[in-house]
Structure 1
């Protein structure tokens, strides 16, 4: 099983925190970014798992 497959299909801010090793405020700050693949469900912010890991990869490539 790949690392990302251990997480649910739809991730919450708590998952983002855990995966990135950041605090709650930073997770929400990232999720508010213009390039973040957010899904809004009412007031709640979620992200589809594969889109999130693609977002991480795109930022890794951009940082090099």
Structure 2
């Protein structure tokens, strides 16, 4: 499965490529609150990162 090829910690570039959307749109999703449909993320310095499990859970929520 493609999910197994994703690293455990994702960048906006990983997410953009996986979803087929722009990095700009990914950054917008990372800025949004989870309640508003955003992707849960954490920050390392000025970089935003996403845990793979959180990302896959977000996708499942979007399917419903």
Q: Which TM-score band (shorter chain)?
A: 0.7 to 0.9
Aligned pairs, how many? 60
Q: Which runs of 5+ in 1 are unaligned?
A: none
Question: Which residue matches 1:22?
Answer: 21
> Counterparts of 1:1-64 in structure 2 under 5 Å?
2-35=1-34, 36-61=39-64
- If the length of structure 1 is used for normalisation, what is the TM-score? 0.86
- If the length of structure 2 is used for normalisation, what is the TM-score? 0.86
Ranges of 4+ aligned residues in structure 1 off by more than 2 Å: none
Q: Which runs of 5+ in 2 are unaligned?
A: none
Q: What is the root-mean-square deviation of aligned Cα atoms in Å?
A: 0.9
Deviations 1:20-63 (A, max 9, x none): 110121111011110121011111000000110101110111xx
